[in-house]
Amino acid sequence: MAQFVSFESNVEVLGGVVLSIIDGMSEYKEIGIKILEDNGIKNIQSDGWYSLQSLLDAFKEISNKLGEPTLYLIGYRIPENAVFPPDIDTFEKGLALIDMAYHMNHRNGDIGYYKYIAVDENNAKVECKNPYPCEFDKGIIASMSKKYPPVNIGEDGVIIILDEDSENRKNGGDVSTYDVMW
């Protein structure tokens, strides 16, 4: 599966995630609202449920019109609007609980997953099998590092790199893996 294609047609996403798109578009909010409406997502309520494929179609249009940096900013805003578990207090725990949050904000079928893999005290991998764009996932991971700064952070901060030597959604694969270093 590539980016922007839901695994199943009946999957829905919680309105808080949709509102993150608008919030993450900063000065382009009106464009974001129009793109969402053009893709069938209107009158957004934070506790409402919306078609994931419609949202992904909007993401694709946003990517085409405004570029990947906008997708990153949208992902970065997700922890501010989406439902997240309450017991996150460290960066590592935040990375590990992205999957739980993802499942709290999606329903009705195969939605995929986020998998945290600890490598050592300053390195991890995050495996993402979902239909969202890669830059969106990078934004979520980066946001967790700002919200819960790692204890042993190096002078370069947190570095997030898509493993482009392996299968990834940008090249039509099912899974994208990120090396996370701090």
Largest CA distance in the chain: 45
Task: Give the count of domains, the chain.
Answer: 2
Cβ proximity of 18 and 25 under 8 Å: no
Say if residue 63 is in the same domain as residue 103: no
60 lies in some domain: yes
Say if residue 100 is in the same domain as residue 155: yes
1 lies in some domain: no
Residue 87 identity? D
119 lies in some domain: yes
Residue 160: closest CA among 121, 129, 132, 134: 134
Say if residue 48 is in the same domain as residue 73: yes
Q: Which of the listed residues 81, 101, 135 is the one where a domain comes to its end?
A: 81
Cβ proximity of 78 and 130 under 8 Å: no
d(CA 96, CA 94): 5
Angle made by CA atoms 61, 170, 20, in degrees to the nearest 5: 45
Say if residue 163 is in the same domain as residue 127: yes
Q: What's the confidence (pLDDT) of residue 27?
A: 86
Residue 94 identity? G
Cβ proximity of 147 and 79 under 8 Å: yes
85-102 mean pLDDT: 90
Q: Which of the listed residues 50, 81, 112 is the one where a domain comes to its end?
A: 81
Strand 12-14 versus strand 113-120 pairing type: unpaired
Q: Which of the listed residues 25, 47, 81 is the one where a domain comes to its end?
A: 81
What are 4-30's pLDDT values in tens digits?
999 999 999 999 889 988 888 888 889
Confidence of residue 60 (pLDDT cuts 50, 70, 90): very high
Residue 104: closest CA among 16, 3, 8: 16
159 lies in some domain: yes
127-141 mean pLDDT: 95
Q: For the whole model, what pTM was predicted?
A: 0.90
Q: What's the confidence (pLDDT) of residue 1?
A: 55
Say if residue 106 is in the same domain as residue 54: no
What are 28-54's pLDDT values in tens digits?
889 999 999 999 999 999 999 999 999
Domain that holds residue 172: 91-181
Q: What's the confidence (pLDDT) of residue 87?
A: 81
22 lies in some domain: yes
Say if residue 153 is in the same domain as residue 114: yes
Mean pLDDT of the chain: 91
Say if residue 62 is in the same domain as residue 108: no
What are 136-182's pLDDT values in tens digits?
999 999 999 888 888 877 777 899 999 988 889 988 888 999 999 99
Cβ proximity of 98 and 126 under 8 Å: yes
CATH number at residue 121: 3.90.1520.10
Strand 176-181 versus strand 123-129 pairing type: antiparallel
Say if residue 111 is in the same domain as residue 76: no
